[in-house]
Structure 1
Amino acid sequence: MKKFVAVLSTTVLTLTLLSGCGQAAGQPKPETTKPAAGGNEAAKPEAEKNDVLAQFPAVKIPYTNDPNAVLAEYKGGKLVEKDFETFLRTINFLNPQQGASLQFADSAAIKDYVRQYTGTKILFDRADDTMKAAAMKQAEERFESYKKQYVERLDKKEENFTKMLEQQGLTKDDLLKQMQLIDSSIGVLEKGIDENALKQAYEKADKTQYTTASVRHILISTESRKPEEAKKLADDLLARLKKGEDFAKLAKEYTDDPGSKESGGLYENANVNDWVPEFKKAALTQPINQISDPPVKTDYGYHIIRVEKREVQPFEKAKEQMKQQELNKAYGNFISVELDKLVTKWNIPEVKPAAAK
């Protein structure tokens, strides 16, 4: 809920939101969140289960407010409720999972969103016409990418996509303007990043920060079975692999990791820092094409791991990752230090406890 709006760049989000993939078992576990409203699938009305639009519902704002209420006044402008709600609806379109969580947002989370969106609007006002035009062109291209994904999920019918936008209270113009605003604000921050300074930082850095690996693994989970049962099954599979059985085939049959099951247990060219410590250590140190013996234990269970490739990204590849880190820092500093000097009045909506139930 506290992810910076600037880092909600459509650059990051494009083509990642509708895949339906779960959390990868090698990655840190997310915080537990409440499920989206709707309950058990079997308990849903038959009409809803058959309605393809039901899988992408409108965002539920966890409070009520006058559409013309002013949430923030700042030097040169203001943020009103109806514009803020359009932004929340846009989040729901760009990232349905995050949109579903908005109905459970408390006052602190809404405050974060208001502050971040206000900061993004201020940064947008600092963008020049060339930057805004480039951001709009990018927004139009991304809109078409999203539309293609949604149409595929909506029975391949474009009219269903049109109905979905209406259901979500959005227009194409709304979405283009919001994506342009976000990307323009990022462009303003990028102007302050010195590429020479990034290169110097890269030369001095611990190169594990920029190491990628292609790792194939089989997870035997301890969440669905006793630890000793998981260990025995992992050892049995390890023995079969040593005898020459196909790793990918066994992974598809036995792994408990939904994020890599269909790829035969493979995570390809992934940043090793995305994985939990034990998995990361194996990815960094295990000899190429050798199978972990014994299996690697993590909080998820036992992993049989084979590292198929490992490399340190050269600066030209690592540069974008470094820029993203600098953008995080720059935006965080802007929100925490500069924003309150520019805003003359806040009027954050209050979320009543009963509304979050």
Structure 2
Amino acid sequence: MKRSVAILSSAVLVVALLTGCGKGDDNAEASKPTNQNQPAQAGDQANANDPLAQFPKLNLPFSVDPNAAVVEYQGGTLSGKEFETFLRVINFLNPMQGQMIEVADQEMLKTFAREFTATKILAAKADAAIEKESRETAEKSFDKIKGQYLSLLGKDEAKFDKLMENQGVSKDVVIDQMTLINNSINVLKKNIDDAMLKKMYDGMNKESLTVASVRHILISTEKRKPEEALKLANDLAARLKKGEDFAKLAKEYSDDPGSKDTGGLYEDADVSQWVPEFKDAALNLPIGQISEPVKTDYGYHVMKVESRKQKSFDEMKEQLRAQALEQEYDKFGKTELDKLITKYNLPEPKPAAGQAKK
């Protein structure tokens, strides 16, 4: 899990529904449609007609006594019931993470348990003002999540209610869980002020701060000899310097599927994301000038920088706050959390946990 469960705010989790839903086999994308060239079975056809079928019940890969102490820590415990509820809510908020839960091995269960224990410990430090803010955010986020589900369920409230019932959660349970997560986040945020963020900003290099709008035409060397690609790139550069329309030539010649349909344009993009040669040209090419062919591992690029600027502190503040939040959580984990946890009593995963659900 690249990103800690404990610091996934409700607002972040909401986005999960927009990026893909449902559950498939281990090698399929969650939102990938059924192969329409295969004959449909009766059960498959029924599922295709039922939007609830894309959100099957979460099958936990273990059994645990609700009253058992799954994790013991200084000042409290994480019960089996709390752990199950947490995993079911995470699945409801992010169906794709539910797939990870169903195939979790012992180490992954420990990670989930550790993250939720961190959430409980941090949330316990919340005062009344934090609690109020966290619950209000959770309630608004629930409404957004519900709206996204309803858009996938034909605006059918009854189906949404059935979905929640199938998932073993309720509105109150979800809001309580999101409030707990938000409490833990807001407790960490108390340690993050503008002075800290400004120090982070001042320490960033030029590349990290620069955004540019760049047009390019990629002449790939994947299906051409390098000398053939270079000749075509030089020809196109010459035509562009004579005034031919960049967007038109990009749509006709570019081998970059990510920008071909936009006339070769990447607009207001972080230059730090690009490969070194392309990034260097984006940082240094004079505005409006047609480049000589720029060679990368992909082939030859003819480029034109249309605009370039460095993001201000105000523009970067929320991104820096998110980075600082990650750092605060990492610091808490390394310096406090594992000292506070005294014992894990994790349930054994079932043998079928490593198999995809049919």
TM-score range, shorter chain: 0.7 to 0.9
Mapped contact 1:4–1:116 kept (Cα < 8 A): yes
| C-alpha separation in 2, matches of 1:3 and 1:283 | 30
- Percent identical pairs in the alignment equals 45
User: What TM-score comes out, normalization by structure 2 length?
Assistant: 0.78
Question: What secondary structure sits across from 1:41 in the alignment?
Answer: coil
Cα drift, residue 55 of structure 1: 2.3
| C-alpha separation in 2, matches of 1:318 and 1:59 | 38
Q: Residue 27 of structure 1 aligns with which residue?
A: none
* Distance change >3 Å, CA 261–CA 150, structure 1 → 2: farther
Residue type of the alignment partner of 1:9: S
| C-alpha separation in 2, matches of 1:201 and 1:155 | 46
Mapping 1:162-241, distance limit 5 Å: 162-215=161-214, 226=223, 239=236
Q: Residue 128 of structure 1 aligns with which residue?
A: 127
Residue type of the alignment partner of 1:35: A
* Distance change >3 Å, CA 346–CA 212, structure 1 → 2: same
* Distance change >3 Å, CA 104–CA 293, structure 1 → 2: farther
* Distance change >3 Å, CA 285–CA 341, structure 1 → 2: same
Whether 1:349 and 2:342 are equivalent positions in the alignment is no
Question: What secondary structure sits across from 2:124 in the alignment?
Answer: helix
| C-alpha separation in 2, matches of 1:248 and 1:167 | 53
Residue type of the alignment partner of 2:323: Q
For the aligned residues, what is the CA RMSD?
3.8
Cα drift, residue 207 of structure 1: 3.3
Mapping 1:1-357, distance limit 5 Å: 1-15=1-15, 17-20=17-20, 34-35=27-28, 41-42=34-35, 45-215=44-214, 226=223, 239=236, 242=240, 243-244=244-245, 246=247, 250=251, 255-257=256-258, 268-275=267-274, 277=276, 280-289=279-288, 294=293, 297-298=296-297, 307-352=305-350, 354-357=352-355
| C-alpha separation in 1, matches of 2:249 and 2:31 | 36
| C-alpha separation in 2, matches of 1:177 and 1:92 | 15
Instruction: Tell which structure's C-alpha radius of gyration is larger.
Output: 2
Q: Give the stretch that moved more between structures: 124-133 or 45-54.
A: 45-54
Cα drift, residue 40 of structure 1: 8.0
Cα drift, residue 136 of structure 1: 0.7
Residue type of the alignment partner of 2:28: P
Question: What secondary structure sits across from 1:174 in the alignment?
Answer: helix
* Distance change >3 Å, CA 284–CA 338, structure 1 → 2: same
| C-alpha separation in 2, matches of 1:50 and 1:81 | 36
* Distance change >3 Å, CA 65–CA 322, structure 1 → 2: same
Q: Give the stretch that moved more between structures: 2-11 or 211-220.
A: 211-220
Q: Give the stretch that moved more between structures: 281-290 or 198-207.
A: 281-290
* Distance change >3 Å, CA 269–CA 85, structure 1 → 2: farther
Question: What secondary structure sits across from 2:154 in the alignment?
Answer: coil
Unaligned runs of 5+ in 1: 22-32
Question: Aligned residue pairs: how many?
Answer: 340
| C-alpha separation in 2, matches of 1:288 and 1:118 | 52
Unaligned runs of 5+ in 2: none
Cα drift, residue 174 of structure 1: 1.7
* Distance change >3 Å, CA 307–CA 86, structure 1 → 2: farther
